[in-house]
Structure 1
Amino acid sequence: MHFPKTTPVLIVGGGPVGLTLSNLLSRYGVDHLLVEARPGTSRHPKARGVSARSMEIFRRCGLEDAVRGAGLPASQVFFYRGRDLVDPDFVRSGVAHDAPGGDGNTPSPGLICSQDALEPVLLRRAREPAADRVRFSARLLSFTEDGEGVRAVLEDRADGEQHTVRAEWLVGCDGAAGTVRAGAGVGMDGPTGLGHFLSVRFEAPLGEVVADRASASYFLTPPGQGGFMAVDNNRHWIYQYPFDPDHRRGDEDLTDQEHLKNLVRAAAGIPDLEVSVRDTMVWRMDAQLASTYRSGRILLAGDAAHVIPPTGGHGMNTGIGDVDNLAWKLAAVTTGRATAALLDSYEAERHPVARQVIDLSTENARARAGYRIDDELLLTAAYCSTAVIPNPETPTRPPLDASSYHPSGDPGHRAPHTRLNGPSGISSTLDLIGPDFTLITAAVTPAWQQQADTATAADIPVTVRRLNSGRLREEHPGSFNRLCAMAATGAVLVRPDGHIAWRASSPSACPELLQALQRILTGARVPSSATGISH
């Protein structure tokens, strides 16, 4: 296998987080190399819930339809609670999902798409621009960082040959037990062993059994233990069996096929169920957070940066949010449009999000079957860093609001979704956000275009998108302005990750657009009194 001698970005780890980063970097035109030690994509479903925010990210990458096609139908996104799968007194509850493109808070509601189905979708798209950017059966053996870059030693696992690659930046997406975080000497803080589980992937004819109660997850209430996860709600399933490694029966063999089949039969409540066990995986529930997301030229994302209890389904989604935040910043730095200080805002913005997600998920784990699953939780993430010029009139708020999502146009927040009628492929204000900075205005104001042209001439491309102009119309005129609390002559500057970086009431607001961009890209700290931002 041939490896390049140099690359701007080396990604270690080819799970959903690493593959999403590869797709985003390709969207921004950044050459990179991804290596994954496994020979292929995951065979085990593992993570399954894909949140609305992750779906919005996939939408930007042109992947939304493919991911929906690989997932469970929306009609099955329910959560079952009962003693077993045939309990006549079961309770089934749903998650409020808008139809894709609906009038709710997002054009891209979440869904259930298990990791073994999601990874091939992401991999196919990641290989389209350049197939050799993504290498499976290739692992990182070691690396050294010298302040100017990283020297990585890789092994081709097919022939054992070693290769040296020089990268400007190394991103660890290789999980909590991966090579990158350990090699960088970054510690993890937080409890481990909150629970131990055996995942049994099996086939059984359960489709007719659950026909009147089809759900995404089947939580078992006492005396039942654990729960079932639907892969296709027909023949393919996962049974999650909880066990205490310190108090297990001495004769319990978690590798014995007949014992595993009997565990599934007992949990299903069907003694004569025909069961075929495909594989198993033992895993431990932890709740840990890395002490830092950046060490020199080394960056961490996903499980390498945070290990989140799966109770709530936010672990993979938080990792996808990490790389959405990181990718445009790496693009700006590797092209020379930003200083390396911009990457410090990655930790400043994402570390607090992970902290709150861990806390919420840990509370859910203690609540067991009674916890709430919130598809829109991650829409509420709001950033405070040097990559955002704050509004001095708006008090600082927590990164997450666990109660509900409230659209906002304040800098740091995700730009609100409103429905649009326009050219093909544009049905939401989120569809206006391109791979560069986007300036959204509600009025045809030549001065805004002039300021954008000045920034573009200075090699900071800005695209102006005017609402209610030409073929583009809001379905409910003025809705974006109202949600953003934006003056009729104002504008919001949206980063490539969809978060608002700056808001101004008019083109004459100080600082001018170019100055605001330069401050964002150089990591300069600006006193709020000097921003000149108003409603």
Structure 2
Amino acid sequence: MELIKRTQVLIVGLGPAGMTLSHLLNIFKVDNIIVDQSTQFSQVPRAHYISNRSMEIFRFCNNLDQEIYKYQQPLEFWRRITYLTHMNNNNTFGILGTKDEFGDYDVINGNYIDLDSQSRVANYDQSKLNGLLLSHLKNCMHTQIMLGTKWKGYEFISRNGSEKIISKLERIDPFFEFNIESDFVVGADGTKSQVRKAINKSFIGEKSLQKLLNINFISKDLANVCLELKCDVFDGYNERKMVPTTSMLYFILNPSLIGVMVLHNVKEGNFVIHVPLIDSKHNELDLKLFKQNFPELISQVCKKDINLNIKSIEMWNMSAQILESFIDDKTNRIVLIGDSAHRLPPSGGFGMNLGIQDSLNLAWRLARALKCTDKEYVKKMMNEYSMERVQHAKYACSNSVQNFYRSQFIPKTIGLNWEILNKVNNFIYMAEKYIPVKIVKDLRAIDNIYKFGIFRLSKLLKSPHKIERLRKHIQGCIHSREHSLSINFKGLDLAYAYNIGREDTKVSLIPPKSPFVYSPNTLVGMRIPHEYVYLRNLNKIFRISTTDIPIVFSNREPKSIILLFDKKR
């Protein structure tokens, strides 16, 4: 097997984290090769919420943020989260409540005004984001892309004061094997990462919070229902009025179907619904039969016939796990980012954003390490990357789990308590070790608890008085951050700081006072507050954000920049 390639950084995995890292390395003129065993991206929408900080990073990638704003759905179609029993305007109690995530912002020409960042949050699904990142990456002179190429393993070489990684790769079509020599290898190859397995890293944390069935389907009929659906609310003058409810997320609480439905694209009618499963029953589910019955279930929720086309249906295990270290302890030259280093519940939308922010933290360190001959300093930088990002991942994971439980608060009010179901399921699992399986199955505890919840919900829907009272209760929950799902976590996204103390102390994270609230601060180790500054170049004046400064001056590397903020900051 011969060496046919040489590069400074080999990136394994063509996802958002890996491609963002490749973009950033181009800014620092670092040669890199990015490989992936796939030849095309999955078209199933997955992660879709892009935070302020991630959009700021995309701004560094040749103004990729502006293209995302151009192609994403208008804010009006994804600004809300809605809880409902039916998707039908003729049903008096169909809408239990709607939460406008951008109700506190001024909106001009369809865009909300964000005073905390020059880059607004976005809603753009990962399948499309991948294509956009790749199209930009093809024009980057320091990046070489190799699709249909599988990373198989590595060998660490240390001789004459030089340290290299020899990676073994396999071209799928036409088949041949070859090696790539690099100074660093970055594993960005997802939850089933081959790079992680090769360096013997294991996840710790909650292996299974919930089992889910994910269905991606296309329905113009359902998209029209979402556009037409209204909710009656009382305005400031205590007058009832009808308002739109087109939402990013729909919590469907119906006896026929319970799940969280994501409207990815209203024009295309592209939806994904996550249906929770009971652990003891997920292996017994007949996917073929469910696929056959699913259109009827959606039609029952809408109380009208809905045409739809199922694109994919799959089981999914939701976990909350993080590695203790994101680097290989033996070489300090194999690094993990994104889902290869952390698995988070989707509640809150932290997972993809965490990976994108891993890339920024790592990119400048790699650029500096490649110019450094001091092995100990390189080791120190890589260890600091790991310590910083592990701490942020733990904080994000903790909040993601809390958000998952917040999302269950409203279903609990109608008797659908998945926590109890899983506890009983775990008890039965333990009981099976000591009690004959037939006796355990005859108990049918899980089925009875679930059916009782559905029965209670069905009775509620037949009682206008009870459901109106429930609706008022849910309205109160919706406006409580602790009792409902939210997507605005500015504190978690922008307000944390790395606490870098003495040389002998480990890096720790200084969390914000609230994960929801951002308070601008100039604390050392924290993202600099956003303010616009103006630069003159010949006869032109340019406006940039203070958060752009590290990238704007990356080639010239100024020794110091002095910024003065007023008392508001």
- TM-score normalised by L of structure 2: 0.72
Residue in structure 2 matched with residue 162 of structure 1 by the alignment: 177
Cα distance, 1:348 vs structure 2? 1.9
Residue in structure 2 matched with residue 533 of structure 1 by the alignment: none
Contact kept? 1:13, 1:172, Cα under 8 Å: yes
Range with bigger deviation, 419-428 or 204-213? 419-428
Please give the per-residue CA displacement for 1:205-228, whole angstroms capped at 9, x wherever unaligned: 223211132111112235441121
2-structure distance, mates of 1:413, 1:251:
48
Residue in structure 2 matched with residue 385 of structure 1 by the alignment: 500
Cα distance, 1:40 vs structure 2? 1.4
Alignment of 1:305-316 (within 5 A): 305-316=341-352
Range with bigger deviation, 302-311 or 37-46? 37-46
2-structure distance, mates of 1:160, 1:396:
46
Asked if residue 207 in structure 1 is aligned to residue 223 in structure 2, the reply is yes
Asked if residue 357 in structure 1 is aligned to residue 359 in structure 2, the reply is no
Cα distance, 1:436 vs structure 2? 5.0
Asked if residue 367 in structure 1 is aligned to residue 418 in structure 2, the reply is no
Could you list the runs of 5+ residues in structure 1 that have no partner in the other structure? 439-455, 468-477, 485-535
Residue in structure 2 matched with residue 506 of structure 1 by the alignment: none
Q: Residue 207 of structure 2 aligns to which amino acid in structure 1?
A: T
2-structure distance, mates of 1:387, 1:225:
52
Residue in structure 2 matched with residue 228 of structure 1 by the alignment: 261
Contact kept? 2:496, 2:509, Cα under 8 Å: no
Residue in structure 1 matched with residue 530 of structure 2 by the alignment: 417
Indicate the SS of the match to 1:303. Answer: helix
Residue in structure 2 matched with residue 34 of structure 1 by the alignment: 34
Contact kept? 2:497, 2:509, Cα under 8 Å: no
Indicate the SS of the match to 2:223. Answer: coil
Which runs of 4 or more aligned residues in structure 1 lie more than 6 Å from their structure 2 counterparts after TM superposition? 98-101, 386-390
Cα distance, 1:433 vs structure 2? 3.0
* Change over 3 Å in CA distance of 1:17–1:286 after alignment to 2: same
Contact kept? 1:436, 1:463, Cα under 8 Å: no
Residue in structure 2 matched with residue 153 of structure 1 by the alignment: 168
Residue in structure 2 matched with residue 462 of structure 1 by the alignment: 558
Cα distance, 1:353 vs structure 2? 0.7
Residue in structure 1 matched with residue 287 of structure 2 by the alignment: 253
Indicate the SS of the match to 2:33. Answer: strand
Q: Which has the higher strand share?
A: 2
Cα distance, 1:251 vs structure 2? 6.3
Indicate the SS of the match to 2:211. Answer: strand
Contact kept? 2:496, 2:510, Cα under 8 Å: no
Q: How many pairs align?
A: 446
Q: Residue 414 of structure 1 aligns to which amino acid in structure 2?
A: R
Larger Rg: 1 or 2? Answer: 2
* Change over 3 Å in CA distance of 1:348–1:373 after alignment to 2: same
Please give the per-residue CA displacement for 1:329-354, whole angstroms capped at 9, x wherever unaligned: 10111123873121211012111110
Range with bigger deviation, 378-387 or 75-84? 378-387
Alignment of 1:21-420 (within 5 A): 21-61=21-61, 62-76=63-77, 77-86=79-88, 88-96=94-102, 102=113, 104-130=115-141, 133-146=144-157, 148-205=163-220, 206-211=222-227, 212-223=244-255, 224-234=257-267, 235-248=269-282, 250=284, 252-254=286-288, 257-266=291-300, 268-295=301-328, 296-336=332-372, 339-340=377-378, 341-369=380-408, 370-376=484-490, 377-385=492-500, 397-398=510-511, 401-420=514-533
Range with bigger deviation, 286-295 or 148-157? 148-157
Range with bigger deviation, 419-428 or 275-284? 419-428
Structure with the bigger RCO (C-alpha within 8 Å, sep 6+) is 2
Contact kept? 1:52, 1:375, Cα under 8 Å: no
2-structure distance, mates of 1:103, 1:311:
23
Cα distance, 1:375 vs structure 2? 4.2
Cα distance, 1:38 vs structure 2? 1.3
1-structure distance, mates of 2:3, 2:361:
28
Residue in structure 2 matched with residue 453 of structure 1 by the alignment: none
Please give the per-residue CA displacement for 1:290-338, whole angstroms capped at 9, x wherever unaligned: 0211112111111111111111111100111111100011011112387
* Change over 3 Å in CA distance of 1:344–1:166 after alignment to 2: same
2:546 to 411, 426, 429: 429
1-structure distance, mates of 2:3, 2:70:
34
Question: Identity, % of aligned pairs?
Answer: 25
Please give the per-residue CA displacement for 1:451-474, whole angstroms capped at 9, x wherever unaligned: xxxxx7xxxx3166676xxxxxxx
Cα distance, 1:46 vs structure 2? 0.6
Range with bigger deviation, 51-60 or 222-231? 222-231
* Change over 3 Å in CA distance of 1:436–1:351 after alignment to 2: farther
Cα distance, 1:50 vs structure 2? 0.3
Range with bigger deviation, 142-151 or 115-124? 142-151
* Change over 3 Å in CA distance of 1:49–1:337 after alignment to 2: farther
* Change over 3 Å in CA distance of 1:132–1:466 after alignment to 2: closer
2-structure distance, mates of 1:172, 1:435:
28
